[in-house]
Amino acid sequence: VTEIALAGGTVVTSLDPPAVVSGDVLVKDGRITGVGTAPEGMARRDCSGCLIIPGNVCAHTHLYSSMARGMPYRLEPPTSFLQILQRVWWRLDRALDESSIRASALLGGMEALLSGTTTVVDHHASPNAIDGSLDIVADALEELGIRSILCYEVTERDGYERALAGLEENRRFLTRRQRVPFGRPALTRGMVGAHASFTLSDETLKACAEVAREQRTGVHVHVAEDAADERDAHARSGVGAAERLLGAGVPPADSLFAHCVHVDAPAAALLREAGVTVAHNARSNMNNRVGRAPVRSLGPRVALGTDGIGAGMFAESRAAYFRLREEDASVGAAWALERLASGARFAGPAFGEPGLGRIEPGGPADAVVLEYSPPVPLSAESFSGHWIFGLGARHVRDVLVAGEVVVQDRRVTRVDQGKVLAEAMTEATALWERLDDLPAHPFEPGGGA
């Protein structure tokens, strides 16, 4: 079906500012053609008693961690951020092979769709399976029908050779994927991935920035997530991590800086002025006890990510809101919606889709049908309250990406849900076993732990 009307629902056409109308959402050839009354004879999906919202964007995640829940790591429990990397994530990524990368991407992508997320901005690492890894992730996500912006994490923690291989993987993938394939919308785009200032030399950082510029994209990188990254940047270059990255020539307007917990006030102002989008990951920051990001001083380009804690943006935006309210009661519920809209404003241009994140004529038909009959009045004014205090992934009934129904009646439509889960179980069991043989990663940042 290239034409469908989501009929009879209440439609949230924009999150920032919230706009709510009643009408049928008309979809043709992947695009929204109108919100109004479906013409006679148009295929329709009954959405009465439902709320239709723009698809959610997760602005920073790691699909490779999809199978890490409950993973035993059989080493002393980590007590600092660096130990969490050394004992958990930098062991997991080394244990990944091609089949576990694919299983992770299918599982994470499927769970994202089922929670109402239609675009994921992913940051991938698999130091023992670098070449072609982004294609494995892309193929899995395209099978599911979810939109994504992918990158490979360049890092020197596993040596210079692997940093170069990582950079080459980004370049190879970008060269192939940035072109729009003829006759169908491209659901996958690329960026240049970099781990963080503290695992990268000036030379490699500059090379990342160069590939990004050459490919007309930005760098997706962790910035000042922990104080150790700031200290290391000062020890290496005399400035903080954010300044160091911009100084290396990272294109600001196309780049995505995840976390920015430890940026100081001048660096926050610099990021704001330069137009860098910041991916705020509230739950991950709390879980790793890295500190609180100065989200209000980072300005309007703060988007929300999960950092691998699923890709459900109802849960993430709610946690981010409560976390911020705890320190600042002047924050309103609309703040969460503004942050989600920022994620769409970042992701849209990568697809040549400035309308991503809204339900408007001409824009891509990325929409979520929520089985939510408001028990109290729902309007533009009250919508943010419904979002924080009423709505959740449990309400997701259908999901459209580029006009295609990829979740229908709470099941993904393009892959066998049971098969994805069974494949994940097999792969996770083997992955967890491989992990047992791996010691903690020895890499240490400079500047003192």
Binding of residue 229 to Zn ion (CB under 5 A): no
Min separation Cβ 139 and Zn ion, Å: 22
The one-letter amino acid at 367? A
Type of residue at 303: A
Nearer to Zn ion, 125 or 369 (CB): 125
Angle at which helix 202-214 crosses helix 160-177, to 10 degrees, equals 10
Nearer to Zn ion, 10 or 281 (CB): 281
Burial string for 336-371 (b: 16+ CB within 10 Å, else e) reads bbbbbbbbbbbbbebbebebbbbbeeebbbbbbbbb
Cβ 231 vs Cβ 445: under 8 Å:
yes
Query: Cβ closer to Zn ion: 257 or 351?
Result: 257
> Which residue, 24 or 153, is less far from Zn ion as judged by CB?
153
List binders of Zn ion among 393-432 (CB under 5 A). none
C-alpha distances in Å from residue 375, one per residue of 24, 50, 169, 386 = 21, 12, 50, 10
Q: Which of 307, 316, 366, 423 binds Zn ion (CB under 5 A)?
A: 307
For Zn ion, the closer of residues 307 and 366 by Cβ is 307
Q: Is 169 in the site for Zn ion (CB under 5 A)?
A: no
Residue nearest to Zn ion as judged by C-beta position: 307
d(CA 239, CA 331): 31
Options 157-165, 170-178, 244-252, 303-311: segment touching Zn ion (CB under 5 A): 303-311
Give the interface size with Zn ion as a residue count (CB under 5 A).
Answer: 1
Q: What is the nearest approach in angstroms of Zn ion to the Cβ of residue 60? A: 6
CA 51 vs. chain centroid, Å, equals 23
Stretch that binds Zn ion, among 130-138, 237-245, 306-314, 325-333 (CB under 5 A): 306-314
Q: In terms of CB distance, is 122 or 156 closer to Zn ion?
A: 122
Which residue has tokens 């004879």?
A: 41
Look up residue 336 and give its two tokens. Answer: 């969460």
Nearer to Zn ion by Cβ, of 307 and 423: the residue is 307
Binding part of the chain for Zn ion, among 4-12, 192-200, 226-234, 301-309 by CB under 5 A, reads: 301-309
Q: Minimum Å distance from CB 316 to Zn ion?
A: 13
Q: Which helix (H) or strand (E) holds 52?
A: strand 51-54
To Zn ion, the closest distance from the beta carbon of 89 in angstroms equals 9
The residues, any chain, with a CB within 8 Å of residue 399's CB and separated by 6 or more, are 55, 113, 114, 116, 118, 367, 368, 369, 405, 406, 407
Q: Which residues of 48-78 are buried (b: 16+ CB within 10 A; e: fewer)?
A: eebbbbbbbbbbbbbbbbbbbeebebeeeeb
β-partners of residue 396 are 370
* Residue whose CB is less far from Zn ion, 116 or 193: 193
Minimum Å gap between C-beta 157 and Zn ion is 14
Give me the least distance between CB of 122 and Zn ion, in Å please.
Answer: 10
Rounded Cα–Cα distance for residues 5 and 401 (Å): 14
Q: How far is the CB of 434 from Zn ion (least distance, A)?
A: 22
**Chain contacts with Zn ion (rule: CB under 5 A):** 307
